[in-house]
């Protein structure tokens, strides 16, 4: 586990592009739906930018862009064409997309009742305090299974994980991760494959991930299944600073969250008025 943490901790910058095919299964007589998802992610230290879009048929959260340039948090809603700005750095990532870079390490997630919709950040990968102590390690067919017990609080309950490690080119890699409800039933499964090395100091990382979610009923009915494929992955490559700033010219309205006023609007009448922007 220490070797795995050290490898991921050597990621100082990342750019990835991924697409996913997702099926949401029928519930309470409603028909199931299938659709696609697009996700792009840049990160360098504590700076990041995210683009998330999904097929409307999936009926997930609205498309969004989120960025932090080291000084200002930015959230762009392309449907409402509103860009919201704030000087406060936030961990909250209100979007429908999962980040495939962090899927194998979901046990690092800060998402709790105290930090709803909060996401893992690149700098977390090098933070030894975030890599919780496993409950035990069990040899298992040439790999190992590591149990993380009661480490994540969500909805007032504890969550546990089992991480399955395999070896690729002599490196321990996260091959499968199972997340459990407090009841002990499975909440989710992440299965990783197609490992490639993009940076020698980091070693192999997965380019294909299959995700399954289950309800907490006795039959553990599957609620979602999806396959994420990383189309582009660059690790420890230089990233231009402008990437982490969303262009204000693309928005019809710009909301200053610190001053609680519009600093730009499509007709100019709302500029300077303390009106909360409508969200669609």
Written as one string, the DSSP assignment of 46-82 is TEEEEEEEE-GGG--SPPEEEEE-SS-EEEEETTTTE
What phi-psi label fits residue 150: left (phi over 0), alpha (psi between -120 and 50 degrees) or beta?
Answer: left
Query: How does 89-106 read in b/e, with b if 16+ C-beta sit within 10 Å?
Result: eeeebebbbbbbbbbbbb
Looking only at Cα atoms, what is the longest distance across the chain? 68
User: What is the pLDDT at residue 134?
Assistant: 60
With 70 as the cut, is the pLDDT of residue 91 above it? Answer: yes
pLDDT of res. 15 = 98
Average pLDDT over residues 32-50: 96
Cβ-proximal residues to 55 (8 Å cutoff; 6+ apart), any chain: 35, 36, 37
How many CB atoms neighbour CB 160 within 10 A?
19
Q: Confidence band (pLDDT; 50, 70, 90) for 111?
A: confident
Strands 82-86, 253-256: pairing is parallel
Q: How far apart are CA 255 and CA 273, in angstroms?
A: 10
| Proportion of the chain above pLDDT 90, given as a percent | 59
- Residues counted in the chain: 280
The arithmetic mean of pLDDT across residues 240-254, rounded, is 94
pLDDT (average), residues 251-261: 92
pLDDT tens digits along 3-16: 999 999 999 999 99
pLDDT averaged over every residue in the chain: 86
Is residue 66 within 8 A of residue 93, CB to CB? The reply is yes
If 0-12 CB within 10 Å is exposed, 13-18 middle and 19+ buried, where does residue 59 land?
A: exposed
Calculate the alpha carbon distances from 55 to 18, 34, 262 in Å.
14, 9, 30
**At a CB cut-off of 8 Å and minimum separation 6, what does 246 contact?**
49, 65, 67, 74, 76, 83
Identify the bridge partners of residue 196 per DSSP, sorted by sequence position. 205
Q: Residue 193: is its pLDDT beyond 90?
A: yes
Residue pair 267/253 in contact by the 8 Å Cβ criterion: no
């Amino acid at each position: 586990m220490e070797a795995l943490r050290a490898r991921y901790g050597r990621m100082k910058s990342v750019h990835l592009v991924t697409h996913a095919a997702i099926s949401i299964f029928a519930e309470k007589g409603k028909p199931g739906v299938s659709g696609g998802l697009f996700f792009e992610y840049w990160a360098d230290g504590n700076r990041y930018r995210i683009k998330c879009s999904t097929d409307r048929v999936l009926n997930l959260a609205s498309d969004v862009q989120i960025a932090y340039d080291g000084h200002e948090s930015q959230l762009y809603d392309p449907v409402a064409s509103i860009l919201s700005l704030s000087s406060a750095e936030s961990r909250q990532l209100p979007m429908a997309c999962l980040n495939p870079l962090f899927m194998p390490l979901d046990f690092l997630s800060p998402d709790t009742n105290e930090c709803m919709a909060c996401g893992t950040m690149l700098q977390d990968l090098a933070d030894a305090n975030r890599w919780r102590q496993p409950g035990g390690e069990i040899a298992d067919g040439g790999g190992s299974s590591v149990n993380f017990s009661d480490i994540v609080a969500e909805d007032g309950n504890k969550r546990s994980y089992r991480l399955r490690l395999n070896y690729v080119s002599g490196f321990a890699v996260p091959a499968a991760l199972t997340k459990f409800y407090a009841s002990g039933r499975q909440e989710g499964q992440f299965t990783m494959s197609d490992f490639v090395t993009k940076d020698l100091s980091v070693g192999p990382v997965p380019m294909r991930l299959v995700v399954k979610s289950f309800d907490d009923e006795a039959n553990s009915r599957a609620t979602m299944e999806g396959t994420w494929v990383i189309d582009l992955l660059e690790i420890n490559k230089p990233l231009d600073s402008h990437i982490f700033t969303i262009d204000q010219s693309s928005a019809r309205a710009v909301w200053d969250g610190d001053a609680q006023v519009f600093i730009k609007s499509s007709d100019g009448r709302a500029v300077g008025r303390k009106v909360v922007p409508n969200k669609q």
